[in-house]
Amino acid sequence: MTTQTWFITGANRGIGLEIARAALGSGHRVVATARRRQTVVDALGERDDVLALDLDVTDKPQIAAAVDAARERFDGIDVLVNNAGYGHLALFEETTDADVRAQFDTNVFGLMDVTRAVLPLMRAQRSGRVLNLSSVAGFTGFAMASLYCASKFAVEGFSLSLAEEVRQFGIHVTLVAPGFIRTDFLDPSSMKLGGTSIDDYAAFNDALRGAYLPMNHQQPGDPVRLAQALLQLAAGDAPPLRWSAGSDAVEMVDARLGALKAELDAARGLSASVDGDWVGAPAGQGGAQRSA
């Protein structure tokens, strides 16, 4: 087995911590980062195969320093796990502009900035794996999760496009899309709730909170098994572009695919009616090259 260096954001708890433990258990080296380094040390201990670092993914100088430290300590990065992020649960009209920007600063721009800092190392070594933690919420919408879903949809579009650009350098990008995993995600320490209220939404709001909050630490997905599955994905020669984690995620993706297909078929004729008369005509005879 080839020893790899894993760079993991948000490695002090939840999915990130279990990924770090799984990688170490398989003999790999880990650069384990979190906003407070000490929380990583408390979770993993001080050991030669772990480099624990302070890293707030919204802090570009910290990102650069962390990647430099990883290169100096382990001479490169083989697997990047963009795990850091949080969920903001609130009805959209009850959120603020600051809420939107904070959600995207961490879940989207932070992920992009870490990736931008790591890619030159992977490109130089002509190999690497980028595992971007998305969610089933990056493929389907949930009431009360408009900001979180929007951020994960952005991560999905970014990742699928990035994969097309870096594959030529032996770098593979995989979207990891869990369903409901038993972590602290629904804890107040991790999740943010809306701070304003609108009377028209009161009953709907109460019903949604009553559905989400009791799921805390009762989610069906096992983060330990998720971490073990990611080791398999990272070791494979042809990892998938998008991988759903958990039977609930598979069911929700299946349902969304079915709904998309039904909508596509129902409006297929109307969709095709948008084409111009020249579509399909030979070039030079009124035909035109079509572009996206």
- The residues that bridge with 129 in the sheet, in sequence order, are 79, 172
Tell me what pLDDT residue 253 has. 94
Residue 279 belongs to a domain: no
Neighbours of 69 (CB within 10 A): 15
Domain membership flag for residue 261: no
Is position 231 within any domain?
yes
Better pLDDT: 284 or 3? 3
Give me the domain span that covers residue 164: 5-248
Question: What is the pLDDT, as a whole number, of residue 206?
Answer: 81
Candidate list 135, 146, 151, 152, residue with the active-site label: 152
- List the strands of the sheet with 50-54, edge to edge: 50-54, 29-34, 5-8, 79-82, 128-133, 171-178, 242-245
Q: Which of 135, 146, 148, 151 is catalytic?
A: 148
Q: Is residue 281 part of a domain?
A: no
Q: pLDDT for 62-114, tens place per residue?
A: 999 999 999 999 999 999 999 999 999 999 999 999 999 999 999 999 999 99
Q: Is 18 exposed, middle or buried (0-12, 13-18, 19+ CB in 10 A)?
A: buried
Q: Structural domain tally of the chain?
A: 1
151 is catalytic: no
In the chain, what are the helix, strand and coil shares in percent, each to the nearest 5? 50, 15, 35
Give the pLDDT of residue 189: 60
pTM above 0.95, yes or no: no
Residue identified by tokens 């998938």 is 240
Phi, psi angles (nearest 5°) of residue 148:
-65, -45
Classify residue 262: in a domain, yes or no: no
Which residues pair with residue 177 across a beta bridge? 244
Annotation says 271 is catalytic:
no
pLDDT at 197: 86
Phi, then psi, of 110 in degrees rounded to 5: -65, -45
Residue 270 belongs to some domain of the structure: no
Tokens of 219: 């989610």
Q: Is residue 37 part of a domain?
A: yes
Q: How confident is the model at residue 219 (pLDDT cuts 50, 70, 90)?
A: low
Kindly state the tokens that stand for 51: 């480099």
Respond yes or no: is residue 148 known to be catalytic. Answer: yes
CB 7 within 8 Å of CB 118: yes
Q: How many CB atoms lie within 10 A of CB 273?
A: 8
Q: Tell me, what CATH number does 156's domain have?
A: 3.40.50.720
Residue 211 domain-assigned (yes or no): yes
Percentage of the chain surpassing pLDDT 90?
A: 74
Q: Which of 195, 214, 199 is nearest to 88 (CA)?
A: 195
